[in-house]
Structure 1
Amino acid sequence: MTLKQTRLITTDVAKLTRFYENVSQSKAEVLNSSYVQFQNEACKGLAIVELTSTRAYGEDVTEAGANRSVILDFEVDNVDAEYERLQESVSDWVMPPKVMPWGARAIVFRDPDGNLVNMYSHP
């Protein structure tokens, strides 16, 4: 078994796509206006889909912007540099640069839909 993809469900695919293109500094592949995916290494396996496209699973099975149980982790070379770079793009900072109990240096913020994003590096 291989985990192939994580899908973020949203009501604004374009806005969330721009956010993750900026965060990852990579370009998404737009399959249509309600589905995009990242295929390059920086964000490989991330897809962003319109809430209405998940109705095939059943009514009210999914809810955009309601996640409080998943954190997207990105390993970076320099957490402090990323923190500075993202100041104008991120409006909801959860944690400024900090050394975690397990030794990694990390920042945590929310994307426009409230999903947690963690960027970390190892000293």
Structure 2
Amino acid sequence: MNLVSVRLITDDVKRLVAFYERALHTPATWSTDDFAEVRTPTGTLAIGSTRTVGLFGPGAAHPADNHTAIIEFLVADVDAEFARLSPWLTDVVTVPTTMPWGNRSLLVRDPDGTLLNFFTPVTADAVARFAGHDR
């Protein structure tokens, strides 16, 4: 079994897609006005309109209501990413900080409030854990 994607539901697909295209330096692939995907080498961030929720069942998801998950992106240099992103980010939660488990992390929120972690392994153990992953 493989985790293929994470899907975010939003009231404003264009705004959220534009944020992720800019943040991830990756263009989205649009299927319809209500659904787009931002693909990375290891997974896909899918973004769907609230109009798509009914296909899964009424009330199956609520936009801008995530308080339990952190979407994480492995990057080559988190400090360089912070420098690139900081001029236009509106919600920085934690500037690049080395965490006890060996990753240097930048935590921000997307326009809908979803927490994102851009991180770079910096200790030997952390680097070993992520060996073979693209950055």
Relative to the length of structure 1, the TM-score reads 0.93
- The secondary structure found in structure 2 opposite 1:38 is strand
1:22-53 alpha-carbon deviations (Å, 9 max, x no partner): 11101110111100012342x73110000111
Correspondences of 1:6-45 after superposition (within 5 Å): 6-41=6-41, 44-45=43-44
Q: Does 1:120 align with 2:119?
A: yes
Amino acid in structure 1 at the alignment position of 2:11 = T
Deviation at 1:96, TM superposition (A): 0.6
What is the aligned partner in structure 2 of residue 80 from structure 1?
79
What number of residue pairs does the alignment pair up?
Answer: 122
1:48-72 alpha-carbon deviations (Å, 9 max, x no partner): 0001111122222210000001111
Relative to the length of structure 2, the TM-score reads 0.85
Amino acid in structure 2 at the alignment position of 1:28 = A
- Structure 1 vs Structure 2 CA RMSD: 1.3
Which of structure 1's runs of 4+ aligned residues deviate more than 4 A? Answer: none
Distance 2:57 2:11 in 1: 17
Any gaps of 5 or more consecutive residues in structure 2? Answer: 123-135
Q: Does 1:59 align with 2:76?
A: no
